[in-house]
Structure 1
Amino acid sequence: TTVANGMGYPERGVALQKTLELRMDRVRQVVATHTDGSMNNNPEIKRPRVALLEWCDPIMGCGYWLPELVDVAGGEALHCPPPGGATPTISLQALMDSKPDVVVFALCGFGLARAAKEIVMSTTWGGSDNNNRLEELMDMCHRRVFVVDGNYLINRSGPRLVESAEALAEAIHPALLGHFGHFGTDLLSTMDEAIAMIDNTTGEKQRATTSAAKIRPPPFEEKESQKKKPESLPSSKPEEAVRMQLQHLQNGDMSHAFSLNSTANQMRWCSPDRFAAVLKSHGDFSRLLSEPAHVGESKETNGIATVRVTLPKTACSSAVELLFTMVAEIPEGAKDTMAWYTEKVGLAN
C-alpha cells in the first residue's frame, strides 16, 4: 500500500493487499484439511518434515522468512534458525540423518534447469565420491524431492511470497500436487523432471512436461464494472458450475466465464481481458477454449471442492488432466443462497 500511495493509486494497493491476504488464507485453509487431525478425525496426522534448501554446495537450509512459508504451506521446517535468523549451512550427513519427508531445492537466483545442473555437477551431490548421494536422498524421500524456481519464487520477499506458499503446499502434500497451478510449469517440478530438462552440452532447458511456462500478460486497465457475478446462478453442484464455465469459454463469452470465478480469483486477474490473456498464454489452458473436455465428479471438503477435467489426446497434444478448485460463496444480491465458483485451476496428478 505504501508504493501504491506513492504512485497515486491507493485503492489499487488496498485491493492487491486484500487479494494477497485472501490467497494466503486460502493456502492455510486448504492445507489444514491435510495437516489438522481434528478436521480429519485422525489425531495421528502429522505435518510433513520439510528440508527447504537455499543452496546445494555447501548445503544451506532455510532462514529469514522461509521457515514461516513452510509453516503456512503445512510443513515442519528442518535445518532452520529461530524466526528471522540467517540461513544456516549444514553438512550432507546432517541432512541425511534428519530423514526429511520432503526436500525442496530453491537455489537462489536459479530457474529449474540451471538449479538441477548446479546440483548434479556439485562436489556434494555429483562428485565421484558422492554420485549416488542424490539418488539415495530421493529414495529416502520416496522421490519427493523437488526443484523450485528460486529466482521467481521463494527467495524474493515480496508479493510472490503468496505464490511461493502455494508452490510449497503442492510439493509438501501429494494430494495437492498441481492444486494451485504451479506444478508442471517452469516454477516447480520433481528433481527427476528438472534433471531431464538439462541438455548435457549447453545446459539449456529442454521442456519435459506438456504445460507451457507461466507467462504474465501485459497489464490491462482495471474496470470495476467488469467484475460481475453471472446473471443466472451456477448450479449447487461444483461440477455443473465447471461445465457452465467451460461452455462459456467454448462460446468465446469471456465476460460470463470470468464472472464464474471466485471473488479472490476475479481480483487476481482484474478483468475478463486479462483472464483471457492468461488462458491463451498457457499451453494446456488454451485448449479449454477450443477442445471438448470431460468433467468428472466433484470431491468436497469443508466448503472447498475439486473437480477433475480431462482433455483427451489429440493428433497434436497429449491427454491432460486439470484440477479445478471450487469454493462456495454467497452471490452478490443473494442472502442465503450459496453457489460454486472457480478459485484455481492446475495440473492434476
Structure 2
Amino acid sequence: MTDVLVRFRAVSKSYDGRAKVVEELNLDVHRGEFLTLLGPSGSGKTTTLMMLAGFEDPTSGRIELEGTRIDTVPPHRRGIGVVFQNYALFPHMTVAENLAFPLSIRRMKREEIATRTQRALEMVRLPGFGDRRPQQLSGGQQQRVALARALIFEPKLVLLDEPLGALDKQLREELQAEIRRIHAQLGVTMVYVTHDQAEALTLSDRIAVFNSGRIQQLGTAEAVYEHPANPFVAGFIGENNRLSARVLDATRLRLEDGSTLEAAPHGLPPGMAVLLSIRPERVMLGPAAQGLANAARARVEEVVYLGDHSRLRLMHAGRTDFVVKLPRQEAVPQPGSVIDLAIPIASVMVFPA
C-alpha cells in the first residue's frame, strides 16, 4: 500500500481566466499525517482545501485519492470529512441528530448509528450532550460536535478549514490539544488550513507554507522555522529581525550602518546584496554575550513584559527596531541602558536580496 493518500498534480485555479489563485500545485499528502496549509489571506491555501473537498473545481490538473481521480467526483461521494470555522451544524437538530446525519444518509442501521453517536460524543468529551441543540452549546462545544460529525463515518481523510479561528486564545489552545489527541488516537489523515503560525507549529507533522498561489516551502515544523527556504517563509513563520547587507567575503557581511557581521553566506559572491533574518530569541545579551562572535553594544529603547518572556526593542546596527526576547528568569535591563549583545553566527540566516 502506498504511503501517499492524496496527490495534487499540476493543479491550478483561476476565477477570471487570467490571475491564478493556485498555480501548478504538486503536493503529496501522506497517509496518517497531519498536514497544515499555512499562509496569509489570498495565498491559495483555502482554495486548495476546497478543491480537495470538491467545493471548488480545478481549472487544470488532477487530484487523486488513493490513486483514483476525484476532481470530477461530487463532494458527497468523495467520503471526506470536513470541519468549517462556522461549525455548520443544523440548528433544528439535536447534537445526536447532527452526528447521526452523515450515517443516516449512508443508510446505516439504527443500532449502529446509536453506537457510533455515543462513541463520537465520548471521543470529543461531550457525553450526555446528545439531547442539546447547537444554540445551547458554547463555541468550543459546537466545534467539538462539528469535529465529531466529520469523523463519525470513519473517513480516510478529514479537512479542517480554520476551525478554531472564531474562538478565544485559551479555548483555541485547549481544542488544539484535543485535535492532537484525536489525531493520535485515530490515525486519520488530516489536512488543516490556518493563517496562525503558532497553531501550525503546534499541530503539524508537516507544514506547506503558501504565498501567491504557490508552496514556498514544505517540511516539518522544525525545518520551516529553523531553515526557512526564503525571506517570505522566514518572515511569516515566527518573529525575526530583517537587516540589509552586502557580502564582503566567505565569512563576513557589511551592514547598512557600515559595521560588519560574521556569517555564512553559503557561496554568495562578494558585493551581492543580501537580506538577513535573525530570530529575537537567538540573540545573546548581557554578560553571556561578552567575548562571543558579533559582539556589540546596544541601547535599550523599550521593554515589554509578556509573562513568560520580555520583549526588548534595541538601538542596534543603525536601527531602533531590533528586537530581542529574554526568558523570564533572566535579568531584564531598563530602558535607556547600554548592554552587551552578540549574534551567534549560526543564527544569521542569509538570503539573496
TM-score normalised over the length of structure 2: 0.29
Structure richer in strand, relative to its length = 2
Structure ID, larger Rg: 2
Identify which of structures 1 and 2 has the higher relative contact order when contacts are C-alpha pairs closer than 8 Å and 6+ apart. Answer: 2
TM-score by length of 1: 0.29
